[in-house]
């Protein structure tokens, strides 16, 4: 698609094609009175002023702020059923143990691929309407070969149908199915599920819940090493509940990202920095579980690139708003608005292996950008819980927001 976006009051972007870390994470390039020219879905020109005369479609941003399309690098957006009862129990003071995952497993197993698509479609469109143009989605509520593949096929269908970039992650190692002995299930993961997922090209990453009560470091290492051998990228749900060595393992395997990290050890943080592994922090989960927030400043100061995601899922985090997570990151993680903007664009894209394509507005990248009803990007976290996305542009086409032409 071709498009000229002009009248941009402020274009705010982290620059580059790799994750930014340390002080560089807080360095945002600002271009005032700017335009962006798109040809065939790619950015071909960025500059000051009105831009070249264009015969193609144009959008006057009327002095509004423009940022890259937001990237949510961690969700469990495909599932059936809900866990309202668990939410209410938590509100009465019961503690989260992760056991409720099996409630969602039962509902997801009972649903067809078509039903999963129907359920996830409006969720993803609501995320898109808030400026999120790329979303990672994990399997992990099937826990049998057929049900895990069904989830991944649902993600694949949604990716073909919706104007959102979906990055599928195989997470059969999300929990243990109650009907199979643990060691046998790990064998099924390694010997059956991973080869089928790789053969059918259904996932770009493999993720393992490496934590107390879930997969041990040894089990996670076996699963992830197999995944790597099959050509999948690696992610680890690391040290959310206890410091079990998940961050250390992520560093050892040079994983693309390590997620949660609430209880990551000092050694683990050093290992992430050495490997350049992106820390995907999920403050919405801490907020909803009323637990301590991840050590964002410590990670940043140790030189670990930090990204932010929603962790959207029916149990620990029914929150799907990345802009709200940006508010939490400023208020609770003590990140600057600049660091937050990098965390939800370029660094989030890097966590998905897409920093060369997405995450900034520069010549050669895909034209994913958002025009916001705001003058400065600090207003996005500041106007909490409000949707300021005015025009959401994906691959050069306006796909959501009040400025979107009605179909
Ligand atoms: Zn998760």
> How remote is the CA of residue 20 from the centroid of ligand 1, in Å?
23
> How remote is the CA of residue 267 from the centroid of ligand 1, in Å?
23
Residues with CB under 5 A from ligand 1 (ion): 311
Q: For residue 365, give the DSSP letter.
A: S
Kindly report, residue by residue over 30-40, the tens digit of the pLDDT.
999 999 999 99
pLDDT computed for residue 98 by the predictor: 62
> Does residue 109 carry a pLDDT above 80?
yes
> How remote is the CA of residue 378 from the centroid of ligand 1, in Å?
27
> How remote is the CA of residue 173 from the centroid of ligand 1, in Å?
11
> Does residue 97 carry a pLDDT above 70?
no
> How remote is the CA of residue 389 from the centroid of ligand 1, in Å?
25
The residues near 373 (Cβ < 8 Å, ≥ 6 apart) are: 64, 388, 389, 390
> How remote is the CA of residue 171 from the centroid of ligand 1, in Å?
9
> Does residue 220 carry a pLDDT above 80?
yes
- Order of strands, sheet of 205-210, starting from the edge strand that comes earlier in the sequence: 70-72, 132-138, 165-173, 205-210, 233-238, 257-260, 278-281, 306-308
> Does residue 55 carry a pLDDT above 90?
no
> How remote is the CA of residue 87 from the centroid of ligand 1, in Å?
17
Instruction: Tell me the percentage of the chain whose pLDDT exceeds 90.
Output: 93
Quick one: how many helices (H) and strands (E) in the chain? 15, 16
Kindly report, residue by residue over 354-384, the tens digit of the pLDDT.
999 999 999 999 999 999 999 999 999 999 9
pLDDT computed for residue 327 by the predictor: 98
> Does residue 407 carry a pLDDT above 70?
no
Backbone angles phi, psi at 134, to 5 degrees: -140, 135
Domains of the chain: 3-69+359-400 (2.30.40.10), 71-351 (3.20.20.140)
Q: Is 145 exposed, middle or buried (0-12, 13-18, 19+ CB in 10 A)?
A: middle
> How remote is the CA of residue 311 from the centroid of ligand 1, in Å?
5
Kindly report, residue by residue over 253-296, the tens digit of the pLDDT.
999 999 999 999 999 999 999 999 999 999 999 999 888 999 99
Kindly report, residue by residue over 142-158, the tens digit of the pLDDT.
999 999 999 999 999 99
CB 311, CB 136: distance < 8 Å: no
pLDDT computed for residue 96 by the predictor: 66
> How remote is the CA of residue 240 from the centroid of ligand 1, in Å?
10
Kindly report, residue by residue over 302-354, the tens digit of the pLDDT.
999 999 999 999 998 999 999 999 999 999 999 999 999 999 999 999 999 99
> How remote is the CA of residue 355 from the centroid of ligand 1, in Å?
21
> How remote is the CA of residue 234 from the centroid of ligand 1, in Å?
14
> How remote is the CA of residue 237 from the centroid of ligand 1, in Å?
7
Kindly report, residue by residue over 151-209, the tens digit of the pLDDT.
999 999 999 999 999 999 999 999 999 999 999 999 999 999 999 999 999 999 999 99
> Does residue 64 carry a pLDDT above 70?
yes
Residues 331 and 349: their CA atoms lie apart, in Å, by 23
> How remote is the CA of residue 73 from the centroid of ligand 1, in Å?
10
Quick one: tokens of 62?
């009327």
């Amino acid at each position: 698609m071709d498009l000229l976006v002009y009248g941009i009051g402020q274009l705010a972007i982290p620059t580059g094609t790799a994750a930014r870390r340390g002080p560089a994470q807080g360095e945002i390039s600002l271009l005032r009175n700017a335009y962006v020219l798109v040809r065939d879905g790619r950015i071909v020109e960025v500059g000051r002023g009105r831009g070249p005369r264009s015969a193609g479609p144009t959008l006057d941003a009327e002095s509004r702020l423009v940022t890259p399309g937001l990237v949510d690098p961690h969700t469990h957006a495909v599932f059936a059923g809900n866990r309202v009862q668990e939410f209410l129990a938590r509100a009465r003071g019961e503690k989260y143990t992760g056991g409720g995952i099996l409630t969602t497993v039962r509902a997801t197993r009972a649903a067809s691929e078509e039903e999963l698509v129907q359920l996830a479609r409006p969720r993803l469109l609501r995320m898109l309407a808030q400026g999120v143009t790329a979303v990672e989605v994990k399997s992990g509520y099937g826990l049998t070969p057929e049900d895990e593949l069904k989830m991944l096929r649902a993600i694949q269908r949604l990716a073909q149908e919706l104007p959102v970039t979906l990055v599928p992650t195989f997470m059969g190692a999300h929990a243990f199915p109650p009907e199979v002995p643990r060691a046998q299930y790990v064998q099924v993961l390694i010997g059956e599920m991973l080869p089928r997922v790789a053969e059918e090209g259904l996932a770009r990453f493999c993720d393992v819940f490496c934590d107390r009560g879930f997969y041990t470091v040894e089990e996670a290492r076996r699963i992830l090493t197999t995944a790597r051998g099959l050509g999948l990228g690696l992610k680890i749900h690391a040290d959310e509940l206890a410091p079990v060595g998940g961050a250390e393992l992520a560093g050892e395997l040079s994983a693309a990202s390590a997620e949660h990290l609430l209880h990551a050890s000092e050694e683990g943080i050093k290992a992430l920095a050495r490997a350049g592994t992106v820390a995907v922090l999920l403050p919405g989960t801490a907020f909803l579980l009323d637990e301590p927030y991840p050590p964002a400043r410590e990670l940043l100061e140790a030189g670990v690139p930090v990204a932010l995601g929603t962790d959207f899922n029916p149990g620990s985090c029914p929150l799907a708003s990345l802009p709200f997570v940006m508010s939490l990151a400023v208020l609770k993680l003590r990140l600057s608005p600049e660091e937050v903007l990098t965390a939800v664009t370029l660094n989030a894209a890097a966590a998905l292996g897409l920093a060369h394509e997405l995450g900034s507005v520069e010549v050669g990248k895909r034209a994913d950008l958002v025009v916001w009803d705001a003058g400065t990007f600090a207003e996005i976290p500041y106007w909490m819980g409000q949707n300021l996305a005015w025009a959401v542009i994906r691959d050069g086409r306006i796909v959501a927001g009040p400025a979107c032409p009605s179909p």
